[in-house]
Amino acid sequence: MTFFQSKLRQLTAATVGALAVMSATPALAGVIDFESVAPNIYGGTEVITQSGYSLTVIDTPAAGPGGTGFAGAIGDGSDPFLCTVAACPTGNASQFYLGVNDGSLRVTRTDNHLFQLTGLDYAFLAPVGGLGGYTYGQLTLVGELSNGTKVSYAYDFPVLDSLGYSPFETLSLTAFGGNYFSSVTIGSCLFDGNGGCASPLAGAENQSQFAIDNLQVTPVPEPETYALMGLGLGLVGWMSRRRSRAASAARTNIVANTIAA
């Protein structure tokens, strides 16, 4: 084998490796739906893993970022005994995440690379049943970019129905989802009656609560993957042109030999 052939084989192997990485990447993409995790309750700092992502429960703000109090749960919407002291959201018979007691949830990729969050299903977890048909607060999203800059958005919770329950709704994160994040922290706040939204609301601690499901996440391929892919495409193009020139030369020789004969 010549030196050139050896290098060509190495480049081909690198290209195949890049293609394998890119074809494997969508395994991280898709939906975090909490279906592969058994229903359970979680304290602050506990981590839930699913589909290549780590979901860290945060017990805040009263207990501080290192608090370990009850701050989250995964429940089954088809279980009639899921909520005995609160008003569970309606319209979701699958498993979903419940952020309770002013807690929040931090989403990262398990490999610590960047990702996008482009949509989710959400609802308000009312602290008691029978509340009036209003919206009581907002779902809050704080995404951290690779340079440490934070991007924040807030979305009003659905209006409670006539029985005081919050229906699940699908939220398309058009602006927020266009960013590449190292982490996204999902939380909630309550309207204070003066045009603001706070967590915890003075005199109403542990009532900033939410429910989420079907997080639409997409991993961002690393630059070296694109570089290898570009190298592979360039190699394929070069080989194609080389073969084309060789075939053309062969046809010319055949024609020349035929005329000479």
Has residue 94 got a pLDDT over 90?
Answer: yes
Question: In the predicted model, is pLDDT for residue 31 greater than 50?
Answer: yes
Packing angle between helix 223-260 and helix 3-24, nearest 10 degrees? Answer: 130
Q: Which domains does the chain have, with CATH numbers?
A: 3-22+223-260 (no CATH), 33-219 (2.60.120)
Closest Cα partner for 114 from 15, 29, 241, 189? 29
In the prediction, which pLDDT does 249 show?
A: 57
Instruction: Report, as an integer, the average pLDDT of 35-52.
Output: 95
Give pLDDT, residue 243: 61
Mean pLDDT along residues 51-57? 95
DSSP element (H, E) containing 98:
strand 95-99
Residue 229: per-residue pLDDT: 45
Beta bridge partners of 32: 215
Please give the residue that has the higher pLDDT: either 79 or 18.
79
d(CA 169, CA 91): 8
pLDDT, one tens digit per residue, over 81-92 is: 998 878 999 999
| pLDDT category of residue 245 using cuts at 50, 70 and 90 | low
CA gap 32, 50 in Å, rounded = 7
pTM: 0.76
Nearest to 38 by CA among 28, 49, 24, 51: 49
Strands 70-76 and 115-124: unpaired
Sign of CA dihedral 88, 194, 101, 120: positive
| Sequence-distant (≥ 6) Cβ neighbours of residue 107 within 8 angstroms | 32, 53, 54, 55, 117, 183, 184, 185, 186, 215, 217
CA distances from 184 to 16, 114, 144 (A): 33, 10, 6
Mean pLDDT for the chain?
Answer: 82
Instruction: Mention every residue, 6+ apart, whose C-beta is less than 8 A from residue 133.
Output: 159, 160, 161, 162, 164
Query: Which of the four pLDDT bands, split at 50, 70 and 90, describes residue 19?
Result: very low
Among candidates 97, 41, 50, 95, which has minimal Cα distance to 69?
41
**200 confidence band (pLDDT: 50, 70, 90):** confident
> What's the pLDDT tens digit per position in 148-184?
999 999 999 999 999 999 999 999 999 999 999 999 9
